Structure 1
Amino acid sequence: MTGGAAVALALVATGVVAAAADDDPEIDGNVTVTITDPSPTPTRTPVPPVPSEVPTSVTGAAALIGGVRQSVVRRPNADGTGIVVTVGGLTIELKARTASGGEVALDSDGAVLVQTDGSYLVSGSGFAAFSPASVAHYTDPTLLGTLTTDGSGAFSGSFPVPPAIAVGDHHVQLLGYTSAGSPAVITMGVRVKAAPVTTTPAISGPGGTVSYPGASAGSQTPVTVTQEPTGEDLGTGALDLGVFAVSALRATAVPTFNLQGGTVSLSMIVRNTSPEAFDGTIAFRLDSLLGGAVAQVEGIGVPHIQPGESRRIAATFQPVGNWTFYRGYATFTPPEVVDNTALSAVSRQADVLVPPPAALPVLALLILATLGILVWMLVTGRLQAMFAARRRSDDEDDEPPAPAERRGELVGSGAASR
């Protein structure tokens, strides 16, 4: 153009085009600028779940890409808190978190272990950019959530465990699109365990009954009761009652230098060996064999013990004071009938020895002082002189009297007799 320059400015953003012209003589030519949305709405719809096409064990993983079964590599992540699955150009990491956000280590089988009140942390890469990625939970089909990959095809999200999920082995399924646009379904085994239960029962002590933690109203020993599933054996001394079994009561103690300190813990494992879940209750009591009752807790709920599950229930008494010998009791009360078997309460007891806390520093000081005196006497020669003087005294006591002394004794006795 002569006599000036025209500049056309086209702005394309989410379907809107704008144009402008300027007669500034310093600018010559046409300029077109295109602005695109950095995270456009995905054009693909979420991949539907495939609940039965890719079966996998709790320690396995499998994948379908474009409807074709693929070879999968599954391995623990670097810190043992989850698994990493790779298939084709896709990488998926699955972790479990507690309700407080802590990561959970893989169990002894290498399975992802999540608590019923916990959540899954799922992340992936290699997927189509700005495409939907969904996470579902099986065996009961439940969509946990859907999110969108970023411009590089990566994503990360946290998804809570479905409410009222049954304890046992399940699957978590990731659904998305590959960078080539093929639908991908990756299924990973997981193991769900019951969340630890912390109860705050009533506590009775020498001064009366108070509510947890018993810091006032006369109860001298607060008690904390916890329970959680365990894979431990019941060990020696276990009782098998047909539909459930209990371990021996375990009592442990930790002394302190504080006169009023010290901790005693009582714990017992209950195992459900029946084909049905049941609820129970447990009570703990701690006595000092030198001073009577310390504290007790009653009516602790032990809910929903699943078939084959072992539950450890523990009561921690702290502080226990300056007593030395303790006897702990635990009484587990099952339902009246389980699997057509009539049941009754079972009690276990255990003794524990706690060195008196106040005596520990005194005894240590006496031993150190005695050793110090002995070393000082040895270095200064006083110890050898003491033993030498003792030997001389013993030798003089053993010598017979002199002859003159014996004659004098005879003369004196004769004169006295005359």
Structure 2
Amino acid sequence: MAVPLALALTGCASFSPDGGMDKVAALSRERTGQGVAAQRTQADADAAAARSAEILKALLTADTAVELALLNNAGLQASLAELGIAEADLVQAGRLRNPVFGFGRLAGGGALEIDRSLVFDLLGLLSMPAATKVQQRHFEQVQLEAAQAAVSLATQARLAYFNALAAQELVSYFEQVHDAADAAAELARRMQKAGNFSALEQMREQSFQADAVADLSRSRQAAVTERERLARVLGVGSGFTLPEHLPELPAEAMAPQAAEQTAIDRRLDVLAAKRRAEASAAELGLTQATRFVNVLDLGYQNRSERGTASLAQGYEVSLALPLFDSGSARNARAEAVYRQALQRTAEAALNAQSEVREAHAGYRSAYALARHYRDEVLPLKQRISDETLLRYNGMLVGVFELLADAREQIRSVAASVQAQRDFWIADTQLQAALGGR
């Protein structure tokens, strides 16, 4: 009776065709616009490599940077492997422990006695539905965590992309400042040599040139650093091409409705914390149910003796007596784990609400500053430059005033680029705080 029952209960304990990845891909696509796939075979790796090569032929955008990262980042693939471990635990929970076959032989005084037994884990059979339920919730939790790893990687890719693009764009502006400083320094040197310029004025231009050289060197190193950070997130080499400029600002700033509740409903770290608490509650119930009985075996046995036709048959029940371990420690541990999970869930929800408020404030501030540079500062600098040029053509100002004005205009453009970069970073951080775009 026990064998057919055990086979019936464990017959459905098998691996799923997708390994749990369909749900992970759906969650990732909903929040990032890109799905994710575990590369478990060489064919999967070849397909990812082919798609990556296709993406790298064109200019990289924020969206294609996310796609590249989800295709190639080795750290993400390691996180997705955790899904296979959790599914293996789930399948294992739905399978009965193998029966134990015992064989004994006693000989002496011309008699031979043989004992045979077959023992099943009866407690494991009875607790299998509850244990499977616990592992099922753990598996769902790991699915959410795997999707969260993909969403987090997408956020990192966007941040690295905008930082690298801005750093590259700033190099060109600092090169212009450097060229203007070189021209001014050379002109000052010649005029001072001709006696038309004081030594103090010449040294001031030389000092500005030295600062421009340092700024250019720092900007070039920053561009290399940010590009390599992007390459590490993407999981590729340096064989990608970035556009020349950051994307334009949107026409209007985003105004998310019910932002805090949206974060609670959509953020995968909050959902994973909830699943962790549910799994802990189910595990606590299982621990309490098996507190006093943690070993219960049922087995069939028979005994035969040589020289006789008798065959003794019967059954054996093994039950661990709670004399030294009443299960109180296991029960206390399960209760502590459950309380810990509840507090982690509360913390995750509170942090999500706070992060949304902070990210939204930063987003609105960055948008306002970037628009201020675009609509106010740069047009004003351009008008000043035009007036200075007119005055120079009318011989009302000298060449040094013209060069100084050009340098100031270039610096304002560089500050505008930085403000534009800060907006796109704030936009990415707000999307992450809301749980996806």
Per the shorter chain, which TM-score range? Answer: under 0.3
Larger Rg computed on CA atoms: 1
TM-score, normalising length: structure 1: 0.21
Q: Which has the higher strand share?
A: 1
Higher relative contact order (CA 8 A, sep 6+): 2
